[in-house]
Structure 1
Amino acid sequence: MNWGNGILLLLLVFIGLMVTLVTICVRQDDIHLVTENYYAEEIKYQEHIDRVNNTQAIEGKVLQYDSVSKTLQFKLPIGAKGELHLFRPSDARMDKKIQVEIKDADFSILKLDDLEPGYWKVKMTWEAGGVAFFEEKKIDI
């Protein structure tokens, strides 16, 4: 084999590799944005900062994860209403939102057995006494 054939063969292999990589990238369907309404949520960010500051002012953590029993415990006052967002950064299709309303007890437990193993962010937004709060916890199931 001479130099010309070797260079031509190398060029054809390179072009074939590039076409294969582009085809794989175009066919991927698991690319997700963190949120669909990115710009609308960016405008509301000051409200989020206020919620975080309100949460830091209260004593103790609201969210506690027990990795042995795979349960999430949240301690909220009676009358609190909010939303628990189970957020999977690697796949938005696994995200779950659960409405929470504390009517008679100030300590609740949520079993997380049905979630896929891996890294999760738990985001809790709630309101009690007209004041909004937010807490986030990173867990590994």
Structure 2
Amino acid sequence: MKSTDKNKSFTLWPYAIIVAMVMFMSYIAMFVYKAMNQDVDLVSKDYYEQEIKYQDHINMVGRTKAAGDVAIAFHPEKQDIIIQLPDHFKGQSITGKINLFRPSDEELDQELPLQLGRDLSQLIETKELQQGRWKVRITFTVEQETYFAEQTIQVTKP
């Protein structure tokens, strides 16, 4: 009788290993299923158009640096912004716009026409602007070539 009891002994380890493997494979299968059904919008539908626009923007910035830096400065004592284009553009027809961009509140954004004086500078009053961080973006065209400059300023009130 002793010999038959030893043959009929029950051990739980093989079943525990099999159950653990099945549970692990089920977890991996569930993870793969969820990952495959997740909607990922990393690339927009008009990706190539956006890439061309971005390349145009890079070209504009490169042209601006090659022509000379556009100076954008905020003077807190006078409460104004001075924009100065390089002397390289003197005597040429210049058209463009100035965008005052407020990163924290898009409703405060402003767009102004570029109206340069004889010395290729423009003064912008900031008394109406709220205190804080602003990005001054200038886009202008000279003889069929478009240029772009951007400067971040901190508007402070006295």
TM-score bracket, shorter-length normalisation: 0.5 to 0.7
The answer as to 2:71 corresponding to 1:57 is no
TM (normalized to structure 2)?
Answer: 0.57
Paired residues, number: 104
Q: Classify the secondary structure of the residue corresponding to 1:89.
A: coil
Consecutive unaligned residues in structure 1, runs of 5 or more: 1-37
CA RMSD of aligned residues (A): 2.3
Tell me by how many angstroms 1:104 deviates: 4.5
The answer as to 2:143 corresponding to 1:129 is yes
The separation in 2 between residues aligned to 1:84 and 1:136, in whole angstroms, is 10
Runs of 4 or more, structure 1, over 6 Å off, are none
Cα pair 1:81 1:102 within 8 Å, conserved: no
Q: Which amino acid in structure 2 is aligned with residue 52 of structure 1?
A: V
The separation in 2 between residues aligned to 1:46 and 1:91, in whole angstroms, is 27
Tell me by how many angstroms 1:126 deviates: 0.6
Structure number with the bigger relative contact order (C-alpha 8 A, sep ≥ 6) is 1
- Highest Rg: 1 or 2? 2
The separation in 2 between residues aligned to 1:103 and 1:119, in whole angstroms, is 27
Q: Classify the secondary structure of the residue corresponding to 1:44.
A: helix
The separation in 2 between residues aligned to 1:95 and 1:41, in whole angstroms, is 23
Consecutive unaligned residues in structure 2, runs of 5 or more: 1-45
The answer as to 2:134 corresponding to 1:114 is no
Tell me by how many angstroms 1:112 deviates: 1.2
Cα pair 1:126 1:132 within 8 Å, conserved: yes
Tell me by how many angstroms 1:93 deviates: 0.6
The separation in 1 between residues aligned to 2:149 and 2:136, in whole angstroms, is 8
The separation in 1 between residues aligned to 2:73 and 2:50, in whole angstroms, is 27
- CA deviation map 1:13-63 (0-9, x unaligned): xxxxxxxxxxxxxxxxxxxxxxxxx97655511111011001111234332
Instruction: Specify whether residues 41 and 104 from structure 1 end up closer, same or farther in structure 2 by C-alpha distance, changes over 3 A only.
Output: farther
